[in-house]
Structure 1
Amino acid sequence: MRIFIAILLMSGYNRVPDKRAYWEDCEDVHNPMVSRAMRKNRFLEISKFPHCAPNNDINEKDAMYKLRPLIAFLQRKFRDLMISKKYYDYDESMIPYYGPHGCKEFIRGKFIRVGYKACCLNASQGYLVDFDIYQGKSPEEKEDYGKKFGKCAAPLVHMLDRLPENVKTLPLMFYFDLFTGLNLLKELKSRGYGGTGTMRENRVPKDCSLKPVINMKKEARGSLDYRTSNDDVIIARWVDNSVVTVGSTVHGIEPVINATRYSQKHKKRIQVPRPNLFTQYNKNMGGTDRRDQNVSLYQISFRNKKWWWSIFIWLLDVSVCNAWMLARSTGDDVSQLTFRRTIVQTYLKRYGVAPMTPRVRPINVFSRVAMEIRYDNTGHYVAWIPNQKRRRCAYEYCSSSTRTECVKCDIGLCVGCFLDFHVYREY
């Protein structure tokens, strides 16, 4: 399995048009390191039958039951090995998949629009702390979370419950996207965490008398309107390229700094005043996007028809990406490509098993035809064997069964081996 995983990882930076190309004889695609570590047929057989859970133990309430043991193992490892940071972001990540499945989604505006949606909690540097493959209602999620915070925000609260005890007591800051609600911000504040996120217009409390979005669209870029609730939650609406609404429990309006924007009206770059909570949101919200970028650089390219295959290779890619970030945190300034190549080369060289060289029969020692007849170049013709029968090919370097034979020698010979068998060569 280590060799199998190493070959998958190699396909991310040494891409070939077909998974069988590594074992071809052509020098433009042949890879001697792969061919010496594992036979082609063995690799293809393993790629058909990998299992993370037994088929006789199906959990009908869990759509990801086939990968659940692997998912649970990686979730636990990612949390246990995480390096405590102050800023985290929670966002959606798309895993491309185009086949039929009930969990497949279409999200307009995403770079990958069709596939599985993964709810990810990332450090601002890109380390994946926790994740959950979205399937509507997770079997591990508490029912009241979905009713109180919404289906998109409920996994975040569940991930906070699973954080290590030494991390839960830290004053963490969380940033999230459009599913922000007042209940979520209050819950984070009650746990001692800060929360900041963009809000949809229908999630803004009705007693919060902000200017309507349709009215603020007519105002100049940089216009601002904000309110503060009784729970010290500030909700601000700011005009940028479009109207943006942000709620926060830790950041306020001040200090206001200038942001550079291009003005279509003035045909030049202008300075637009930007409140602090919008600045902090833009600064700390990119952890998931950074992780997606790192994974996309050298992601596994081998495809499979199984519905879970795309999630399986995504789990391998993010595991290597997390391991690379942990290595960099120790002071080892290694690139991701070098880190992946080191893993692949170590696995293939340490655990690879060289294929057995087929034994070749010595020439003419076991031949059933005398040399005087075999090489006399007279009267040798190829013909079909009567009654559709087969005979073993008599050529020393061939072990196939054939339907053709040599009439004079009375032995089975493939059409391709006929000339080589009757031409004498010095070896």
Structure 2
Amino acid sequence: MAKTQKFKAFKMEEIFSEIGSKSPCDIFSLYFDKLIIAEITHFTNEYANQHNAAINVTPVEIRRFIGILYISGYHTLPHIDHYWSVRPDMEIPIVKQVLSRNRFKIIKRFLHLADNTDLNAVDRFAKVCPLIDALNKNIMQFGVFSHILSVDEQMIPYFGRHSCKMFIKAKPIRFGFKSWFLCSESGYLFSSILYGGAATPHDKNIGLGAQTVLDLLANVTDPDCHIIFFHNFFLSYHLMCLLNERRFFATGTIRENRMAKSPLRNLKKEKRGAFDQLLDGQQEILTVRWNDNAVVNVITNNSAEPMVCTYICAKRYCRKQKKTIKIPQSKVIQEYNHGMGGVDLHDNAVANYRICIRGKKWWWPIWINALGNAMVNAWKLHCMLAKF
């Protein structure tokens, strides 16, 4: 624990000395830097030329275009034309000052993030991959400075037609594109991967979920200074062994058929709070089964105790007794509940100010979501530096 605290303090001290005096807007410019803006400008002009429209967009106009998109995230109007309205109840002077309505619409029409003549035919996200890759690279310029990391998915709302569109019944956003995130405990995004469906190339020996985790962790340079949390889509006993080999500490829920036939007893008919555990001394992996409203299986290779499962009290409402009671809960499960919410915090912050100007291109939702990710990261890093 002392090592991880020194690691985080050292990392934050480095970042503070470099950008501690910068505003959130300046930090945002480190993510959407001059190179990304220049590439967007180039691809937009190229696409316009291919359609015999010499619009000659400049980087300054692209920045102003992005600024108007951000305004639509917190100042929502019924129609795009209303942002240039002269009516007192709709008028936004700054929008009219920086870009005319017709110019904004021309840029929006021809906006492009990649070269159409040089797209990867295999990659379903080829039109947005240059932006996502560049943004990931810029985000990682400060390294991974958080001790607690979580891996989870983010849904990007989309209701059109595309082969990568997902449907998840239990999610607040049921239709859209799925993206895998590696986030800190506070919701700062370190890396993202767009998910193209089950056909996404991966190592079939370890599975798609495990491959996603390893890809997201590829840029982590000090694995023993972090603990990773993820849910049962990603986790298997084999993945936990791989993480052990790479010196990563990890905790997550696990499905019954991925537990390498661990001989834990069936708790479905036992009372709430019942538990069982198993320690693999060779791999130093602890498996815990706990009965709450349903049976939960958690596996970890990280424990404050020498691989002994300790228990605390959790509060639950009992219908029979009509009052709140205390039941035993594994400390491993408490740590999982505490460390797993980073991606949800980031996703919630993006949703609070999601850009509401819509586009006809299928990749438009991914584009505005990338802008949202950069905005949230800039604000969260600014807040962290302010507290340092």
With normalisation by structure 2, the TM-score equals: 0.80
Contact 1:95 1:311 in 2 (8 A): yes
Aligned to 2:80: 19
Counterpart CA distance in 1 for 2:276 and 2:387 is 47
* Equivalent residue for 1:38, pick from 89, 99, 115: 99
| Residue 233 (1) aligns with residue 285 (2) | yes
Counterpart CA distance in 1 for 2:198 and 2:119 is 17
Q: How many residues align?
A: 322
Give 1:114 shift.
1.1
Give structure 2 stretches of 5+ with no counterpart: 1-61
Counterpart CA distance in 2 for 1:159 and 1:278 is 23
Q: Structure 1: which amino acid aligns with 2:207?
A: G
Aligned to 1:422: none
* Equivalent residue for 2:272, pick from 208, 221, 235: 221
1:13-412 aligned within 5 A? 13-82=74-143, 84-136=145-197, 143-144=202-203, 147-163=204-220, 167-168=221-222, 170-179=224-233, 180-206=235-261, 208-212=262-266, 216-229=267-280, 230-251=282-303, 252=307, 254-331=309-386
Identity %: 36
Give 1:101 shift.
0.6
Q: Structure 1: which amino acid aligns with 2:269?
A: K
**Which one has the largest radius of gyration?**
1
Contact 1:295 1:317 in 2 (8 A): yes
Contact 1:22 1:29 in 2 (8 A): yes
The DSSP-based 3-state class of the residue aligned with 2:156 is strand
Q: Cα distance 1:123–1:132, how it changes in 2: closer, same or farther (>3 A)?
A: same
The DSSP-based 3-state class of the residue aligned with 2:74 is coil
Q: Structure 1: which amino acid aligns with 2:128?
A: L
Counterpart CA distance in 2 for 1:169 and 1:242 is 33
Give 1:100 shift.
0.7
Q: Cα distance 1:88–1:119, how it changes in 2: closer, same or farther (>3 A)?
A: same
Contact 1:15 1:301 in 2 (8 A): yes
Give 1:299 shift.
1.2
Give 1:153 shift.
2.5
Q: Structure 2: which amino acid aligns with 1:217?
A: K
Give 1:170 shift.
4.2
Aligned to 2:21: none
The DSSP-based 3-state class of the residue aligned with 1:12 is helix
Contact 1:62 1:138 in 2 (8 A): no
CA RMSD after TM alignment: 1.7
Alpha-carbon displacement from aligned partner over 1:310-329 (angstroms, at most 9, x marks no partner) = 00000000101001111112
Counterpart CA distance in 2 for 1:20 and 1:112 is 27
Give 1:172 shift.
1.3
Give structure 1 stretches of 5+ with no counterpart: 334-427
Counterpart CA distance in 2 for 1:49 and 1:153 is 38
Alpha-carbon displacement from aligned partner over 1:61-81 (angstroms, at most 9, x marks no partner) = 111100111011011111122
Give 1:42 shift.
0.6
Alpha-carbon displacement from aligned partner over 1:283-309 (angstroms, at most 9, x marks no partner) = 111100111111111111111121101
Counterpart CA distance in 2 for 1:193 and 1:136 is 27
Counterpart CA distance in 2 for 1:238 and 1:5 is 49
Q: Structure 2: which amino acid aligns with 1:219?
A: E
Normalized per residue, which structure has more helix? 2
Q: Structure 2: which amino acid aligns with 1:24?
A: S
Contact 1:148 1:183 in 2 (8 A): no
